[in-house]
Chains A and B, each alone.
Chain A
Amino acid sequence: MNIKVLGACCKRSLETYENTKLAAKALGLDATVENIGDPGEIAGYGVMRTPAVVVDEKVISQGRFLRQKDAEALLKKHLGL
């Protein structure tokens, strides 16, 4: 599974990236978690608010700062765990 956290220019986004990494690990997911900062790539997903979370090329959250437990809840819901 591939998880991307879009947005790398502010604390809000960078912390969401860290928290998502922790969440994926806590859930025991076999996933690579990347941080994307390139504006063209971000816009390519149709995202206009960072931070955003993309799982296997599908946007599942945008414009929301995620704590670890928020990220866990989000991933669980998306994956139907």
Chain B
Amino acid sequence: MESLRAAWDFFQNQVLGMHWLNTLVGRILTSLGVDTGTRLGGSAQFFVYDTIKILVLLSVLIYGISYIQSFFPPERTKKILGRFHGLTANTLSALLGTVTPFCSCSSIPLFIGFTNAGLPLGVTFSFLISSPLVDLGSLILLMSVFGAKIAVAYVSVGLVLAVAGGTILGRLGLEEYVQKFKTAGSVDIESPDLTREERLQYSLEQVRETVGRVYPYVLVGVGIGALIHNWIPAGWIQTVLGARNPFSVVLATVIGVPMYADIFGTIPVAEALYAKGVGLGTILSFMMAVTALSLPSIVMLGKVVKPKLLGIFVGIVTFGIIVIGYLFNAFGFVLA
């Protein structure tokens, strides 16, 4: 048991967390005459280490995950979901949201495709909530930064939010607030079976495309993280976002909702805030708010649903995120 634990710790700290890289970056900077004990030196170390770590993990993860995702194109997901009802359908929808490749660009055709296929509105929303919020990549990256318990907690509550949010939206009977589009109805197009080579090539394309798209967010995220890490006094942050401010969760959520960033750009900011003693719930709320909702995605969705439904959707998700934040701040100590 002891050795198993040691092996896991090694995996978590050195393989996923790449602590050796931090040491290496520190040594290189020191040999270049940079004192990593100073603020500027410390920021430089955090920046270099975190940028390399996230980009390496990102590339490896996207490669592996794209391979899995190539088995679950949305056409197939749509067909699978059509066979289920009620809570099972919502749960399955949230789970498939984590493995179905999805870019915010495709959200409208996907929404129309799902609803035209006769999938209930709630099931479609479960998918739309879970897809940007939780994916396999974020699970592993969170493990690298915060450890397994917190990563699993994030993914679990994310899925609960998707299932609950979708179920509530489904119960409200808001179908009339979906914009009608003149289409040929529900079209099933075949998704050809791919060969192993094609899947691997697809995975490589995904890595190239995703890293190219996401790296500016990672750089900005790590930059903000480095700033928080070494320049902003812990006291300030704790006053605003710490346990002393009862509204910290609401604040973190409200700031996070309009922001558009990738989960990979959000994690370094969260990492730095966590190191400064901000509550786990507040951090989870911030990450969820940033990834699940953003101004561009709300505007996009506004093209397919009427304002009332859009408002209810944003309201339910925001409220859910705030509740999750307070629950984790209150009971998060069991994870520590």
Interface residues of A, Cβ cutoff 8 Å to B: 7, 9-13, 39-50, 59, 62-65
Using C-beta atoms within 8 Å of the partner chain, give the interface range for chain B: 20 to 34
Shortest beta-carbon distance from A31 to chain B in Å = 21
Shortest beta-carbon distance from A34 to chain B in Å = 17
Contact indicator B101/A42 (Cβ below 8 Å): no
- A contact residues around B281 at 8 Å (CB): none
Contact indicator A39/B189 (Cβ below 8 Å): no
CB closest residue in chain A, given B202: A64
- B contact residues around A47 at 8 Å (CB): 109, 113, 189
Contact indicator B205/A50 (Cβ below 8 Å): no
Contact indicator B105/A46 (Cβ below 8 Å): no
Contact indicator B105/A40 (Cβ below 8 Å): no
- A contact residues around B114 at 8 Å (CB): 48
Contact indicator B105/A39 (Cβ below 8 Å): no
Contact indicator A48/B101 (Cβ below 8 Å): no
Complex-state Cα separation, A44 to B116, whole angstroms: 10
Contact indicator B101/A43 (Cβ below 8 Å): no
Complex-state Cα separation, A47 to B114, whole angstroms: 11
B184 at the interface (CB under 8 A from A): yes
B 161-199 binary contact with A (CB < 8 Å = 1; else 0): 000000000000000000001111011110100000000
B 106-126 binary contact with A (CB < 8 Å = 1; else 0): 101110111010000000000
B78 at the interface (CB under 8 A from A): yes
Contact indicator A63/B112 (Cβ below 8 Å): no
Complex-state Cα separation, A45 to B184, whole angstroms: 7
Q: Can you show 11 pairs from A to B with CB atoms below 8 A apart?
A: A40-B182, A41-B183, A46-B113, A47-B109, A48-B73, A48-B78, A49-B74, A50-B109, A59-B189, A62-B189, A63-B73
Complex-state Cα separation, A46 to B189, whole angstroms: 6
Complex-state Cα separation, A52 to B159, whole angstroms: 30
Q: Which of B106, B303, B304 has the most CB of A within 10 A?
A: B106
The 8 Å CB contact of A13, one of B105, B113, B191, is B105
Shortest beta-carbon distance from B233 to chain A in Å = 40
The 8 Å CB contact of B74, one of A10, A48, A59, is A48
CB closest residue in chain A, given B110: A48
Contact indicator A39/B108 (Cβ below 8 Å): yes
- B contact residues around A13 at 8 Å (CB): 105
B209 at the interface (CB under 8 A from A): yes
The 8 Å CB contact of A12, one of B116, B182, B209, is B209
The 8 Å CB contact of A7, one of B105, B113, B209, is B105
B103 at the interface (CB under 8 A from A): yes
Contact indicator A9/B112 (Cβ below 8 Å): no
Contact indicator A49/B189 (Cβ below 8 Å): no
B75 at the interface (CB under 8 A from A): yes
The 8 Å CB contact of A50, one of B106, B116, B191, is B106
Complex-state Cα separation, A45 to B101, whole angstroms: 19
B 125-148 binary contact with A (CB < 8 Å = 1; else 0): 000000000000000000000000
The 8 Å CB contact of A49, one of B106, B116, B187, is B106
Contact indicator A46/B101 (Cβ below 8 Å): no
Asked if A39 meets B73 with Cβ closer than 8 Å, knowing A45-B187, A47-B109, A63-B101, the reply is no
What are the 8 A-B residue pairs with the smallest beta carbon separation, nearest first?
Answer: A46-B187, A43-B112, A40-B181, A44-B183, A39-B108, A48-B74, A48-B113, A10-B105
Shortest beta-carbon distance from B298 to chain A in Å = 15
Shortest beta-carbon distance from A73 to chain B in Å = 12
- A contact residues around B213 at 8 Å (CB): 11
Contact indicator B183/A40 (Cβ below 8 Å): yes
- B contact residues around A40 at 8 Å (CB): 112, 181-183
Shortest beta-carbon distance from A2 to chain B in Å = 17
Complex-state Cα separation, A39 to B108, whole angstroms: 6
- B contact residues around A45 at 8 Å (CB): 184, 187, 189
Contact indicator A46/B106 (Cβ below 8 Å): no
Contact indicator A10/B103 (Cβ below 8 Å): yes
The 8 Å CB contact of A43, one of B113, B191, B209, is B113
